[in-house]
């Protein structure tokens, strides 16, 4: 855990990229945890979790039936210099100002493909964590809900894998920063760390990223997939917040401090996955210069800051933001993200993200 982080940490990478073989197709993570058999089957004892489970049962969309895969033009849109998503991920100046129009178009394609590939890898991490929660959660209502999340995450993997292969035609390995965090979350034997790392931090940051992608993407197909995913992910984050509120009421001061430090380390690593070293390497661009430009670019810095819009209010709801001497509040202040603390936490906000509120062009093929 991080005991102290120097001032200015918001502008610095949290860790160096290792020499790990990024091309490996199978990665093993050794983990040991208790599988809990809960022999009290009184469903509904935790009414908010039960409500999530009942909603999830009725919202099982189908990648084949509900998504309009006939929509084309994804690569052309990604290569378009006017694509707003390119401005989020590709800074101005330096090496980027010396690229030709064709090189910039290729960079747009690579950046778009890389982004969706990282969402795909994250969804597999979420699938693994949800399956772990089915086994390790100590309440039957939590096990019921986690079982629906397993199906949700498999569906998200299916959708993004198909989009990457059929529409973007460019596959990227998992970001080293993301891989390291997923390994730690899966490896930890404590069930609440799985909740905290995946449900609250990783999925919370992803929920904000999905929201920006939905607003800015010029691709009708990606907007449709993203809106369906948002509805599911909002339930997943709410599941984490509602479960951990009860669990953290009984922890000691030392245990809560450990979870504060874990959260801060996790958000730094998730933030750094957007440095996109894999893109610069793939295109033979100078990785150190590109990373420095992404770190310093005002648009890119604001984008990374905006990703905290769901995480900060959720951690405040859990009491972790201000617990003890306010250590986590101080660290988030260094990141410049405390402006989000008074936003709605996802346990209150998720109903507004449901597909019942989605526009007709998203749900017109809805089969259920």
Provide the pLDDT for residue 201. 93
Closest CA to 234 of 77, 111, 59: 59
Low-confidence residues in the chain, pLDDT < 50? 1-19
Q: Please report the sign of the dihedral spanned by the C-alpha atoms of residue 24, residue 26, residue 29, residue 30.
A: negative
Give the pLDDT of residue 103. Answer: 96
The separation between CA 87 and the C-alpha centre of its own chain, rounded to angstroms, equals 20
Task: Return d(Cα 149, Cα 35) in angstroms, integer.
Answer: 18
Q: What is the pLDDT of residue 21?
A: 53
CA distance 168 to 182: 25
Q: Which residues contact 90 (CB under 8 A, 6 or more apart)?
A: 96, 104, 107, 108, 111
Residue 312 pLDDT: 95
User: What Å distances lie between residue 132 and 6, 99, 247, 367, CA to CA?
Assistant: 35, 46, 17, 30
Handedness of CA 269, 226, 164, 279 (dihedral sign): negative
pLDDT tens, residue by residue, 223-280: 999 999 999 999 999 999 999 998 998 899 999 999 999 999 999 998 888 899 999 9
* SS3 call for 344: coil
Contact present, 335 and 308 (Cβ < 8 Å): yes
CA distance 94 to 5: 29
Residues with Cβ within 8 Å of residue 358, at least 6 apart in sequence: 227, 228, 231
Are 218 and 286 a contacting pair, CB within 8 Å?
Answer: no
Distances from the Cα of 313 to the Cαs of 93, 160, 192, 273, in angstroms? 35, 28, 18, 22
CB atoms within 10 A of CB 93: 10
Question: From the CA atom positions of the chain, what is the Rg in Å?
Answer: 20
pLDDT at 169: 97
Over residues 51-83, the pLDDT tens digits come to 999 999 999 999 999 999 999 999 999 999 999
User: Which residue, among 234, 225, 247, has the nearest Cα to 204 in the 3D structure?
Assistant: 234
Q: What H or E segment, with its residue span, contains residue 110?
A: helix 101-136
Domains and CATH numbers, the chain: 46-363 (1.10.620.20)
């Amino acid at each position: 855990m991080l005991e102290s982080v120097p001032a200015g940490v918001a502008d610095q990478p949290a860790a160096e990229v290792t020499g790990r073989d990024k091309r490996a197709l199978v990665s093993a993570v050794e983990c040991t945890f208790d599988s809990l058999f809960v022999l009290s089957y009184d469903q509904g004892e935790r009414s908010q979790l039960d409500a999530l489970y009942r909603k999830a049962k009725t919202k099982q969309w189908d990648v084949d039936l509900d998504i309009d895969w006939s929509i084309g033009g994804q690569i052309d849109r990604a290569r378009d210099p006017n694509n707003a998503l390119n401005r989020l991920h590709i800074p101005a100046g330096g090496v980027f100002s010396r690229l030709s129009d064709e090189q910039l178009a290729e960079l747009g394609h690579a950046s778009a493909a890389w982004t969706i590939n990282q969402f795909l890898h994250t969804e597999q991490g979420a699938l693994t964590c949800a399956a772990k929660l089915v086994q390790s959660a100590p309440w039957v209502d939590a096990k019921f809900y986690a079982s629906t999340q397993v199906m949700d995450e498999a569906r998200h993997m299916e959708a993004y894998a198909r989009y990457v292969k059929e529409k973007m035609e460019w596959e990227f390995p998992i970001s080293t920063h993301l891989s390291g965090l997923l390994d730690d979350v899966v490896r930890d034997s404590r069930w609440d760390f799985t909740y905290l790392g995946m449900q609250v931090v990783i999925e919370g940051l992803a929920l904000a990223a999905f929201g920006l992608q939905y607003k800015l993407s010029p691709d009708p197909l990606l907007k449709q997939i993203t809106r369906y995913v948002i509805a599911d992910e909002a339930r997943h984050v709410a599941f984490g917040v509602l479960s951990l509120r009860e669990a953290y009421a009984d922890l000691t001061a030392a245990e809560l401090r450990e979870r504060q430090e874990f959260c801060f380390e996790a958000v730094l690593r998730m933030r750094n996955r957007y440095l996109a070293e894999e893109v610069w390497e793939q295109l033979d661009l100078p990785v150190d210069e590109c990373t420095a430009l992404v770190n310093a670019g005002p648009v890119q810095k604001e984008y990374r800051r905006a990703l905290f819009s769901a995480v900060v209010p959720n951690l405040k709801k859990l009491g972790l933001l201000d617990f003890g001497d306010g250590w986590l509040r101080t660290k988030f202040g260094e990141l410049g993200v405390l402006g989000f603390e008074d936003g709605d936490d996802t346990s209150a906000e998720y109903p507004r993200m449901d597909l019942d509120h989605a526009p007709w062009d998203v749900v017109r093929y809805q089969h259920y």
